[in-house]
Amino acid sequence: MLKQIAAAIGQEDYKTAAKLLKPLLKTEKNNPWVQFYVGRVQEGMGKRAEAERLYLKLLPQITNPKLMAQIRQGIRRIEQHHTNQQQDAIAQAVETPGGEEQGVLILEPIITYSAPRLDKINPKQAAAQAFAKVFKIDAYTARLQLPSRGWRLYRTGKIGELHYYVQALQSVNIPCFAVPIAQVPQLQIFTVHYFNALSPRPKVRCMNAEGKAGEMTFAWSEVQGRVLGRIPFFESVVTVDAKHRLTRKTQKQDHIAVCDLHLPSKGYILRLCERSYAFNRGIRLASEERSPIERDTVSQSWQYLMEQLTQRLKDIPTFAEFDTFASSALDCRELLGSLEPHLDLERREPSLWDGAFHLYSGLAYWRSRSVENHAESLH
């Protein structure tokens, strides 16, 4: 009977093979050859996921070299089929209008639980297995790539290909998104010098990217997102080593706080920077008894300003995990170097940290817009 089944499968007559297998599943249910041929029929009839699970379950239980070889061949066939499907889908995605533009793929944090869940597999473990399958890597490496907090810049490439991966990952409950890099420079950045008023409508003195200064009045309801970050500031310092030799090296001296306000109705980002904000002008801020040149007073005044913004913007999304994002983004030196950061921190040398914050804010802007557009499409 097994020879007849093998012959039917060899002729791709899977219906006949299935009929021949039916009685054997009652009399020889535990026969590994019977189980293998069940998988071959499933594979031949297009049920590759079921066949793959059966092959993987059988393989550790088998000692027969001939059967082991055939099971491994089946697994390789299914993997090759998935690879071919993926390559075809990616090629089609890249051929769509705009699909060849460069973009970035961002992984969002996987939700985990503080206590063990006995009813199901750990979410991050399940996500790692699914992630590994999509990108053809091992599960351990995949687990290291998935963030538990903040965003990870995982890949750059053609946006069509990245959109394919977004769909594949989201279908297995891995949160992520992709944005064309060209969308980031499209945003108009205004550097805020100071607030002239906070209510009833905020009024700021600001400067556009061309260096033209002016006033802008807007409504708090127009602000749909806020981005917070602390950017390291480096200085070249001279130190004395153990042999009393002078050496010059670059050290982190400080962190500069930055806050972006997103106004999507205008396509604007208002950028406030702790170093360039004129605390001695505009609205009165707390802790002004001493000169704002003093560092502690600047910090206190900035904190008060942030508290005022928080009171008025407490219901909008706030993105405040820039450090986590930067740890992955700083590896993309060419990308960050191509961006105009719109930050004047009076550095002696350019820093990729400035471009990383600008990219983080731009991604947050477009991420929020895509979520809004998706929500609107559901209504």
pLDDT at residue 288 in the model: 47
In contact, 161 and 199? CB cutoff 8 Å: no
Residue that the structure tokens 């806020």 belong to: 226
Task: Give 1-21 pLDDT, tens digit per residue.
Answer: 888 989 999 999 999 999 999
Residue ranges and CATH numbers for the domains of the chain are 2-88 (1.25.40.10), 96-183 (3.30.1390), 188-377 (no CATH)
The pair phi, psi for residue 275, each rounded to 5°, is -80, -35
For the chain, what percent of residues have pLDDT higher than 90? 76
Q: pLDDT value at position 161?
A: 98
136: left (phi over 0), alpha (psi -120 to 50) or beta: left
Mean pLDDT of the chain: 89
Strand order in the sheet with 213-217: 213-217, 203-207, 188-197, 268-273, 246-263, 225-240, 318-319
Please compute the mean of the pLDDT values over residues 65-70 and round it to a whole number: 94
Lowest pLDDT segment from 32-36, 266-270, 356-360: 32-36
Residue whose tokens read 């019977």? 34
Instruction: Return the pLDDT at 271.
Output: 98
Predicted confidence at residue 251, as pLDDT, reads 66
pLDDT for 3 equals 87
What lies within 8 Å, CB to CB, of 107 at 6+ separation is 145, 146, 147, 151, 152, 154, 169, 174, 175, 176
Residue 242, pLDDT score: 72
Q: Which two tokens stand for residue 167?
A: 């769909």
> What was the pLDDT predicted at 90?
95
pLDDT, tens digit, for every residue of 245-297?
A: 777 666 667 899 999 999 999 999 999 999 999 999 999 876 445 554 444 57
Q: Supply the pTM of this predicted model.
A: 0.84
Round to whole Å and give the CA distance between 106 and 103. 10
pLDDT of residue 348: 81
Output the six-digit token pair for 72.
């491994």
Euclidean distance between CA atoms 284 and 217, whole angstroms: 18
d(CA 192, CA 114): 41
pLDDT at 203 over 50: yes
- Per-residue pLDDT at 33 exceeds 80: yes
pLDDT, one tens digit per residue, over 224-247 is 999 999 999 877 666 677 776 777
Q: Over the stretch 147-186, which tens digit does the pLDDT of each residue have?
A: 999 999 999 999 999 999 999 999 999 999 999 999 999 9
- Annotate the chain with three-state secondary structure: CHHHHHHHHHCCCHHHHHHHHHHHHHHCCCCHHHHHHHHHHHHHCCCHHHHHHHHHHHHHHCCCHHHHHHHHHHHHHHHHHHHHHHHHHHHHHHHCCCCCCEEEEEECCCCCCCCCCCCCCCHHHHHHHHHHHHHCCCHHHHHHHCCCCCCEEEEEEEHHHHHHHHHHHHCCCCCEEEEEHHHCCCCEEEEEEEEEECCCCCEEEEECCCCCEEEEECCHHHCCEEEEEEEEEEEEEEEECCCCCEEEEEEEEEEEEEEEEEECCCCEEEEEECCCCCCCCCCCCCCCCCCCCCHHHHHHHHHHHHHHHHHHCCCCCEECCHHHHHHHHCCCHHHHHCCCCCCCCCCCCCCHHHHHHHHHHHHHHHHHHHHHHHHHHCC
> Are the C-beta atoms of residues 270 and 260 closer than 8 Å to each other?
yes
| Residue 216, burial from CB neighbour count under 10 angstroms (0-12, 13-18, 19+) | middle
Alpha carbon distance 262, 258 (integer Å): 13
Rounded to whole angstroms, how far apart are CA atoms 77 and 99?
A: 30
- Mean pLDDT, residues 106-118 taken together: 71
